[in-house]
Amino acid sequence: MKILIICSNPVSYLFGKKIPFEGTESVFAIEIPASGLIGFDCVIDAEFEEHPERISSYTSSSIPVLIGSVVYTLKELQAELSPIARFNHWPFFISRNCIEFSTARQQLFQHLFNQWQLSFYETADVPGFVTARTVSMIVNEAFLAKQENVSSVKEIDTAMKLGTNYPLGPFEWCNELGEQRIIQLLQKLAKEDERYLPAESLLSYKTNH
């Protein structure tokens, strides 16, 4: 199986597995080749969310395509009937030994993941999946708490790690994931539920990367 992996920088591991996956050949590219997807058996686009216009190439293809899309759903991309699955591509989550995904073609992708010996779990086709939505909400609440002088950044991070056994505190999560990803997701979710509105202090926050 020949896999096209689209990302800015070649990676050694995906979903906790060394690249190439067993029984596969991997080709890295920063965008869809000029020749298109001919000659490939599968595509993993780890940067789809920054280039959603690629969806037209993927919906017209018959090969399985994995798109890194936390915010855009298959429904709004009009890709529900295509052999496409979206997955959580955010930093940290893409490196876990498990892939969080959503698709209408469950059997196709479950078979693929089993071939690659990947652990996986499926969620509904909603913005944020489970982990990104949960972490973004926690980050937002932390910024609200800091904004209201409830506690300091260090104390909030420490309290969350000790209280929930999370690997990172809310502000550490923000620095790891990037505030713009979190803000984009929260703004998308806030269109349906105002409790997701980003804190003013989060909107003005700048990480160091």
Instruction: For 180-207, give one letter per residue: b (16+ CB within 10 A) or e.
Output: ebbbbbbebbeeeeeebebbeebeebee
* 128-141 pLDDT tens trace: 999 999 999 999 99
Encoded tokens for 122: 């499926």
Return the closest-CA partner of residue 124 out of 64, 80, 170: 80
Question: What are the residue ranges in the chain where pLDDT is below 50?
Answer: 209
Instruction: Read off the pTM.
Output: 0.92
Strands 25-29 and 42-45: unpaired
* 33-77 pLDDT tens trace: 999 999 999 999 999 999 999 999 999 999 999 999 999 999 999
Instruction: For 84-120, give one letter per residue: b (16+ CB within 10 A) or e.
Output: bbbbbbbeebbeeeebbbbbbbeeebbebbeebebeb
